[in-house]
Amino acid sequence: MSSTFSGLSTVLSALQAQQKAMETTGHNISNANTEGYSRQRVVLTASDAYASPGIATGTSVGQTGTGVDIEAIERITDEFINQQINEDSQGQAYWEKILQGLTHLESIFNESTTSESGLDDVLNDFCEALQDLSSTPDSEHLSVRKTVQETAELVTDSFNAICENLLEYQSSLTEDISTNVEEINSLTSRIAALNEEIVSVENSGQAANDLRDSRDQLLKELNTYVDVQSYEDSRGNLQVTLDGNLLVSRDNSYDLTVEQTGQNESQLIYDLTGKKVSVDSGSLAGVLELRDEIVAGFLDDINQMAESFAKEFNAVHQEGYDLNGDSGEDFFVINNQENAAMGLSVSETIENDVKKIAAGRFEGTYSDNTDVATVDISDCTLLADGYQIEIVESTTIPSEVDYTVTDADGNTLTSGTAQAGDTIDLTAVIGVTLNIKSIGEATISFGTSEGNGNNALALTDVIDENEIESLNGSSLTDYYESIIASIGVEGEEAEQMLDNQEALLEQLEEEQASISGVSLDEEMTNIIKFQQAYIAASTVVTTINEMLDALLAMV
C-alpha cells in the first residue's frame, strides 16, 4: 500500500508537467511571427509504476502509478518538406536574378515600349537624313549634310553608350559575385558555430530546438545563393557540400574565394584545394550566367553589329563622290578593336567638313547616243572624272566599230573592235561593261556626280535593306531587332519560370506552416487544457493536505 506522501509526489509531477507544457505553449505564442520558428510541444509519458509488495498479491494485481514524466520537448517539423523548400529556393533565386538582369539589359538597350531614344530610333533618324540628302545633295543645302553628320554622331553615341553600359553592368556583376561569396562564407561559418552549440547542448541531454531552427534558417538562406547539399551526421552536426567540396564539417567551415582571370572575368575557387567550383543554381549561378553568357553574348552582338555597320557603310561611301568631286573616304572609324561599339565614331574628315560626305555616284550611263552604245557600271571606284569611251565606225570593216578608252589626260587605257550585239568586259580597266547596240558613233563620258544623290540612297540601304554576311545575312535593322526580340523572349521565359518556382515554393511553405507553424487558436486551446489540468492537480494537493490534517488531528 502506497503512503499518502507518495500521492503528493505523484501530483507534484503533474504540476511540474502542466507548468512546463504551459511554458512551452507560451514560447510558441511568443514566436508566432518569428521567421523560421518551428512550434514545440511537450511529450508526456506515464512514469514507471510499481507493484505493492506482498506474499499473497500474486502476479495479476495491478501496479500503482507514480505520475507523469516529461520525456522531451520536441520541435514539430518535416525534414522532407524542408529539403524541398531548400531546393526550390535555389531555383527561385536563380530565375529571380536572371529576370532582374534581363530587365536591366532592356533598359540598357533603351528599347522599352515607352522609349523613343534607342539605337533603332536614331538609326531611323539617320536613314531619314540620308534620304533628305539624296534629294538635295548640292552645295546650296549644306544644312542637310550637317543634319546627316549630327544624326551619324547620335548613332555612334548610342553604340558607345550601349557598349559602355554593358561593360559597366558586367563589372557590377563581378562585384556581386564577390559579395555573394562573402555572404556564403559568413553563412557557412555561422552554421559551423551552431553545429558546435547544438552538439554540446544535446550531449548534455537537453533539446536544442531553437538552435536547430536557427541553423535550418541559415541553411535555407545558403540555398538561395548556391546549390548546396546537406545531411546530418549521427552526432547532430549538419554537413554541407558544394560540387563535392565540404563547406561545413562539424564545427569547421571552409571558404570559397574569387580568382580574377581577366577584365570582368573570374572563377569560383575552393580555398582548401585551390580547385575551381561549379554552381548550377541559386542567385550566384544566376549572376555568373548573366555576366559570362548573357551579357557577354549581347556585348559580342553589339560589337559585331558596330563593326559590320562601319565596314559596310564605309565601303558604299567610298563608291560615291563628295562636293569636291573626290572619291568618298571612310565615314566611320573604330578606335577600339576589342569593343568596336565603344570605339565607333564619325571620322575627323566628316566631322571637320560636311562637303566630304559622298552623296553622289556615277550614273548608269553617260552615252550621248544610247542607240549605239551604253555601259553598265559594276565598280565605280575604278572610274575617275574625265574618263571617256569613244565609239566610231570601223574604216576597215563596215560591220564593226572601233572603241577607245582614255583617261582625263587623253591617254589610251585600252582599245578594240566589236560588232553590234557584243558586250565588252572593261571591268578590270574602268569597272564597266560596254554594250554595243548598233553600228555608228557615240561618246561615253564619265564625270563625278556630286550633284546626284544616288550614293546617299545607297547608304540608306546599308541600314535597312542590304543583307550583311557578317550579320548572318540580315540587314542591320533586322539584326538589331533580333537582339531586342531575344531579350524579350528570354525575359518572358525567365518571368514564367520564376512564377512557377514562386507558386511551388508558396505551396510548400504553406504546407510547412501547417505542420511547423504556430496556430494561435490551437495554442490558446492548449493553454486552457493545461490550465485545467494544473488546477485539477492543485485540487488533489489540497485534498491530500486536508487528509494529512485529519490524520494529525487524530494523534
Report in angstroms the alpha-carbon separations of 532 from 24, 71, 140, 262.
16, 21, 105, 72
- The separation between CA 426 and the C-alpha centre of its own chain, rounded to angstroms, equals 56
- The separation between CA 179 and the C-alpha centre of its own chain, rounded to angstroms, equals 17
Beta strands in 306-449 (DSSP E): 332-334, 344-346, 373-377, 388-393, 400-406, 412-419, 423-426, 432-436, 442-445
- pLDDT beyond 90 at 327: no
Report in angstroms the alpha-carbon separations of 52 from 67, 270, 544.
16, 67, 20
Instruction: State the pLDDT confidence band at 554, using cuts at 50, 70 and 90.
Output: confident
According to the model, what pLDDT value does residue 263 have? 82
According to the model, what pLDDT value does residue 62 have? 58
According to the model, what pLDDT value does residue 387 have? 87
Q: Tell whether the torsion through CA atoms of 147, 149, 154 and 155 is positive or negative.
A: positive
State the DSSP string of 208-253: -HHHHHHHHHHHHHHHHHS--EEEE-TTSPEEEEETTEEEEETTEE
Q: Which three cell numbers stand for residue 438?
A: 548598233
How many C-beta atoms lie closer than 10 Å to residue 482's C-beta? Answer: 13
According to the model, what pLDDT value does residue 430 have? 87
Domain boundaries, the chain: 4-76+517-554, 363-447
**Radius of gyration for the alpha carbons in the chain, expressed in angstroms and rounded:** 44
Mean residue pLDDT of the chain comes to 89
Q: Out of 97-106, 197-206, 374-383, 393-402, which region has the weakest mean confidence (pLDDT)?
A: 374-383
- pLDDT beyond 80 at 216: yes
Q: Tell whether the torsion through CA atoms of 345, 346, 347 and 352 is positive or negative.
A: negative
Q: How far apart are CA 541 and CA 469, in angstroms?
A: 98
Alpha-carbon dihedral angle through residues 155, 158, 159, 162, given to the nearest 10 degrees: -170
Are residues 448 and 95 in contact, defined by beta-carbon separation less than 8 angstroms? Answer: no
Burial letters 447-460, b for 16+ CB under 10 A, else e: bbbbebbbbbbbbb
Report residue 345: phi and psi, to 5°: -155, 160
Q: At what angle do helices 296-317 and 454-464 cross, to 10 degrees?
A: 160
Query: What's the whole-number mean pLDDT along residues 505-509?
Result: 93
Query: What's the whole-number mean pLDDT along residues 12-18?
Result: 91
Q: How far apart are CA 445 and CA 363, in angstroms?
A: 11
Q: What is the pTM of this model?
A: 0.80
Q: Which three cell numbers stand for residue 528?
A: 486552457
CATH class name, domain 363-447: mainly beta
Query: What's the whole-number mean pLDDT along residues 177-189?
Result: 97
According to the model, what pLDDT value does residue 524 have? 94
Burial letters 419-437, b for 16+ CB under 10 A, else e: eeeeebebeeebbbebbbb
Strands 229-232 and 68-75 turn out to be: unpaired
- pLDDT beyond 90 at 289: yes
Q: Which three cell numbers stand for residue 429?
A: 580597266
Q: Which three cell numbers stand for residue 308?
A: 559590320
Query: What's the whole-number mean pLDDT along residues 265-288?
Result: 94
Instruction: State the pLDDT confidence band at 114, using cuts at 50, 70 and 90.
Output: very low
Are residues 66 and 6 in contact, defined by beta-carbon separation less than 8 angstroms? Answer: yes
According to the model, what pLDDT value does residue 396 have? 87
Q: Which three cell numbers stand for residue 262?
A: 581577366
Residues 6+ apart with CB under 8 A from 488: 106
Query: What's the whole-number mean pLDDT along residues 247-261?
Result: 94
Are residues 104 and 169 in contact, defined by beta-carbon separation less than 8 angstroms? Answer: yes
According to the model, what pLDDT value does residue 434 have? 92
Are residues 419 and 393 in contact, defined by beta-carbon separation less than 8 angstroms? Answer: no
Q: How far apart are CA 490 and CA 484, in angstroms?
A: 10
Report the DSSP beta bridge partners of residue 232: 238
Instruction: State the pLDDT confidence band at 9, using cuts at 50, 70 and 90.
Output: confident
Query: What's the whole-number mean pLDDT along residues 297-322?
Result: 93
Q: How much of the chain, in percent, has pLDDT values that exceed 70?
A: 93
Q: How far apart are CA 188 and CA 180, in angstroms?
A: 12
According to the model, what pLDDT value does residue 112 have? 41
Query: What's the whole-number mean pLDDT along residues 376-402?
Result: 84
Query: What's the whole-number mean pLDDT along residues 413-422?
Result: 92
Q: At what angle do helices 476-516 and 119-135 cross, to 10 degrees?
A: 160
- The string of pLDDT tens digits covering residues 19-73 is 999 999 999 999 999 999 999 999 999 988 876 666 555 555 557 788 899 999 9
Q: How far apart are CA 452 and CA 368, in angstroms?
A: 18
Residue where the block lists cell 534629294: 135
According to the model, what pLDDT value does residue 113 have? 37
Report in angstroms the alpha-carbon separations of 113 from 117, 118, 295, 484, 488.
11, 10, 21, 11, 11
Are residues 414 and 429 in contact, defined by beta-carbon separation less than 8 angstroms? Answer: yes
According to the model, what pLDDT value does residue 230 have? 95
Are residues 213 and 258 in contact, defined by beta-carbon separation less than 8 angstroms? Answer: no
Residue where the block lists cell 542590304: 466
Are residues 258 and 268 in contact, defined by beta-carbon separation less than 8 angstroms? Answer: yes
